[in-house]
């Protein structure tokens, strides 16, 4: 059974940093692209970014709203995904989900498994 | 960026009703559209990919159609467990944008 478990959320002051983790199990983590998606207090879903697999150079993509402040990385030996968040703003407050990407070609790169989410609150 | 709009944003329906939700893209995205269902306090769940392909395990009362800029999600006979919020997402280009959601509530 595919499992994704996020951790690392919490309360942080504006300008601060936080590192989220996502522990994966039940599938070959190294083969998959992995994404982060967040859901703010207003309820809408916002794609944060992606890390591709080793075969595709571990390259990354980011939403404009987080580019330059957030860094996505992975450790295939630990089946773990990370989101380093720096220079946090109040508008980054959200539930952060990690999501498994089903395939590596266009039209197959939807999210077929999600974690339960971890809450990040940015406030003074 | 490709913008997605959904209509209606909210709908109230009864068990057994046929429900249709529309997702429109700001530019053509072929069939690179997926639908998710989200219940309160839970992560989204994949329902349909490639605009019309039902994810394994999803009941056949769910169906999707469309291509280009206009897409629909239809629930043929609404069941109690279908009351939730539905989101569309495009896979045509980065950033991978979502629609704002359609909340389906009990009449």
Q: Rounded CA gap, B4 and A38, in Å?
A: 17
- B44 and A115 within 8 Å at the Cβ level: the answer is no
Residue B100 sits at the chain A interface (C-beta within 8 Å):
yes
Residue A30 — left, alpha, or beta (φ > 0 → left; ψ -120 to 50 → alpha)? alpha
The residue-averaged pLDDT of A15-36 equals: 98
With CA atoms as reference, report the closest residue to B39 among B88, B84, B98. B84
| Backbone φ, ψ for residue B77 (5° rounding) | -150, 100
pLDDT of res. A104: 84
Q: Using an 8 Å CB-CB cutoff, list chain A residues near B49.
A: 102, 107-108, 110
Query: In which band, very low, low, confident or very high, does the pLDDT at A24 lie, cut at 50, 70 and 90?
Result: very high
- List all residues of chain B from 5 to 34 with a beta carbon under 8 Å from chain A: 30-32, 34
Cβ–Cβ contact B49 with A under 8 A? yes
pLDDT at site B16: 96
End-to-end CA distance of chain B: 36
């Amino acid at each position: 059974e595919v499992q994704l478990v996020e951790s690392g959320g919490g309360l942080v002051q504006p300008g601060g940093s936080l590192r989220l983790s996502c522990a994966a199990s039940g599938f070959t983590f190294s083969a998959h692209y992995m994404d982060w998606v967040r859901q703010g207090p207003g309820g809408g879903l916002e794609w944060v970014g992606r890390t591709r697999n080793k075969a595709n150079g571990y390259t990354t993509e980011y939403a404009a709203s987080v580019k330059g402040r957030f860094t996505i990385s992975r450790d295939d030996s630990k089946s773990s995904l990370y989101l380093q968040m720096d220079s946090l703003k109040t508008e980054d407050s959200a539930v952060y989900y990690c999501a498994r990407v089903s395939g590596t070609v266009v039209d197959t790169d939807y999210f077929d498994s999600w974690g339960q989410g971890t809450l990040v609150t940015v406030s003074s | 960026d490709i913008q997605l709009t959904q209509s209606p944003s909210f709908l109230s329906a009864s068990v057994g009703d046929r429900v249709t939700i529309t997702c429109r893209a700001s530019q053509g995205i072929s069939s690179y559209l997926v639908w998710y269902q989200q219940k309160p306090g839970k992560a989204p769940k994949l329902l349909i990919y490639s605009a019309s392909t039902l994810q394994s395990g999803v009941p056949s009362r769910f169906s999707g159609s469309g291509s280009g800029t206009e897409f629909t999600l239809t629930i043929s006979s609404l069941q109690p467990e279908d009351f939730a919020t539905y989101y569309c997402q495009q896979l045509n280009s980065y950033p991978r944008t979502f629609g704002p959601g359609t909340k389906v509530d009990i009449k």
